[in-house]
């Protein structure tokens, strides 16, 4: 078990009460919650972080802005501190969390039959150029440097599909990742549980971070300031690694919330609750839109009893996670240090991801001026990334270029 004291600084103290008192191990009365789901529970001005208000974790807004001279872009939508889940802003946030072209163009009044969408994307790419057409430029920046590669999973290596259990990556993609990892240290950083994403990817030669970076199996060499929080372990095939789980204290609470969420959503057709070990995903991709406010309210009702958990938005998914200052950006920092590549001028980290949670990693690289993010998106979105790729097929092309280039270095 982690000596958690060491990570107190990683814990966001939301109020003096919630920081000092232990969480109530409250098993909610589900019948009561169900019948009483109209009560607004989001009003908690002391506790912004629990309301999904982290600017790096907000869902995409469909409040798209279009001007032929500029570009159609997606801005982040903030449900608002005082809004409850039945408010329009919440619904907006849920509707736009994985916007389709049809939805974007409808909202911005663009005629889908015209060339406007393509023009808008083209204009957006002036700000976020394709990592394929800019490949030479990227390689020039990598001259004399070692590349470290970080890859998100869903929507990056595998296409977004309706059933999260069927988000398989293709064999061709697996080969591309395997080849690139021969020369470049490569890590997968996912919102899924580490074990699950490892199963999906199925490559031993990578490092894996699950639960949005809260569960890392990294290289043997741990960063100096984390040494006592590391558990040394060996994998099935005898390979050694270091397991780092900054949220281990939250495990019983997350398991409890998972059970409650499964129970409370069991009658909502299409809802799916996924246990990602240190976080829980509540999927509403397959739920009738009329039931979205209900599902959001159920999640909020349960969260009400857990002041040390917070809610964030992903692609048609509500994610419950610990109130920890730990994210995919922190995971990148941790892995770089573990690889002995932290604070090195001769290292170029590259992070490829499609989701809001990947923005923490993009931001880290942009603000540190030490590498760059590549946003995977077929629709214009605000981002801290430098480059873009349209979809997983283009990600595969990029990986192939990267490994081919390394052969000739
Ligand atoms: O960080 P990631 O690897 O991108 O994981 C984020 C979430 O991905 C999965 O959900 C998303 O992909 C599903 C399959 O394509 C899709 O059905 C769902 O609507 C998306 O939200 C995963 O199931 C979640 O647990 C992850 O948190």
Cα separation, 317 vs 338, in Å, equals: 31
Look at residue 88 and tell me whether its pLDDT is greater than 80: no
Q: Tell me, using a 6 A CB cutoff, whether residue 275 lines ligand 1.
A: no
Look at residue 98 and tell me whether its pLDDT is greater than 80: no
Look at residue 34 and tell me whether its pLDDT is greater than 50: no
pLDDT of residue 242: 81
Contact 347, 368 (CB under 8 A): no
Q: Specify which of 51-55, 64-68, 70-74, 111-115 reaches the highest per-range mean pLDDT.
A: 111-115
Q: 227 or 141: which carries more pLDDT confidence?
A: 141
pLDDT of residue 327: 95
Look at residue 367 and tell me whether its pLDDT is greater than 90: yes
CA–centroid distance, 154 to ligand 1, in Å, is 5
pLDDT tens-place string over residues 240-258: 678 899 999 999 999 999 9
Q: 84 or 194: which carries more pLDDT confidence?
A: 194
Atom in ligand 1 nearest the alpha carbon of residue 315: 21
Whether pTM > 0.95 for this model: the answer is no
Share of residues in the chain with pLDDT > 90 (%): 60
Cα separation, 30 vs 47, in Å, equals: 24
Ligand 1, from 56, 94, 98, 164: best to mutate by most atoms within 8 Å of Cβ? 164
CA–centroid distance, 228 to ligand 1, in Å, is 32
Q: Tell me, using a 6 A CB cutoff, whether residue 355 lines ligand 1.
A: yes
Which protein residue's CA is at the shortest distance from atom 25 of ligand 1? Answer: 192
pLDDT tens-place string over residues 318-351: 999 999 999 999 999 999 998 999 888 899 999 9
Look at residue 19 and tell me whether its pLDDT is greater than 80: no
The ipTM assigned to this model is 0.99
CA angle, corner 280, sides to 274 and 285, nearest 5?
Answer: 55
CA–centroid distance, 204 to ligand 1, in Å, is 22
Contact 184, 149 (CB under 8 A): yes
pLDDT of residue 185: 96
Ligand 1, from 210, 315, 318: best to mutate by most atoms within 8 Å of Cβ? 315
Q: Tell me, using a 6 A CB cutoff, whether residue 155 lines ligand 1.
A: yes
List 321's β-bridge partners, or say none: 310
């Amino acid at each position: 078990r982690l000596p958690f004291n060491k990570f107190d600084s990683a814990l966001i103290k939301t109020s003096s009460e919630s920081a000092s008192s232990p969480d109530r191990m409250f098993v909610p009365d589900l019948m009561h919650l169900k019948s009483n789901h109209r009560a607004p529970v989001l009003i908690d001005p002391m506790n912004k972080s629990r309301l999904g208000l982290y600017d790096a974790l907000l869902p995409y807004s469909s409040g798209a802005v279009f001007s032929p001279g500029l570009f159609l872009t997606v801005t982040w939508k903030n449900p608002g501190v005082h809004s409850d889940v039945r408010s329009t802003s919440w619904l907006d946030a849920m509707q736009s969390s994985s916007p389709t072209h049809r939805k974007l163009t409808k909202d911005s009044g663009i005629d889908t039959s015209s060339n406007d969408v393509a023009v808008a994307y083209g204009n957006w790419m002036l700000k976020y150029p394709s990592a394929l057409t800019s490949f030479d430029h990227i390689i020039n920046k990598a001259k004399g440097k070692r590349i470290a590669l970080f890859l998100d999973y869903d929507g990056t290596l595998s296409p977004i599909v309706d059933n999260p259990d069927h988000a398989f990556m293709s064999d061709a993609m697996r080969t591309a990742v395997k080849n690139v990892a021969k020369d470049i240290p490569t890590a997968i950083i996912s919102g899924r549980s580490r074990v699950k994403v490892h199963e999906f990817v199925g490559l031993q030669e990578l490092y894996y971070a699950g639960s949005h970076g809260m569960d890392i199996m990294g290289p043997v060499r741990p960063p100096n300031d984390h040494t006592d929080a590391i558990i040394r372990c060996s994998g099935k095939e005898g390979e050694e690694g270091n397991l780092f789980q900054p949220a281990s204290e939250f495990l019983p609470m997350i398991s409890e919330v998972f059970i409650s969420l499964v129970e409370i959503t069991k009658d909502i057709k299409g809802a799916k609750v996924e246990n990602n070990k240190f976080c829980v995903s509540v999927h509403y991709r397959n739920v009738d839109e009329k039931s979205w406010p209900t599902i959001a309210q159920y999640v909020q009702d349960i969260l009400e009893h857990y002041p040390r958990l917070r809610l964030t938005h992903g692609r048609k998914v509500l994610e419950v996670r610990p109130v920890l200052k730990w994210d995919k950006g922190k995971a990148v920092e941790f892995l770089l240090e573990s690889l002995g590549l932290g604070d090195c001028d001769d290292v170029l980290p590259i992070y490829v991801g499609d989701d809001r949670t990947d923005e923490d990693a993009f931001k880290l690289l942009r603000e540190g001026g030490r590498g760059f993010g590549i946003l995977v998106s077929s629709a214009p979105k605000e981002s801290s990334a430098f480059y873009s790729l349209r979809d997983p097929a283009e990600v595969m092309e990029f990986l192939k270029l990267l490994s081919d280039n390394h052969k000739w270095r």
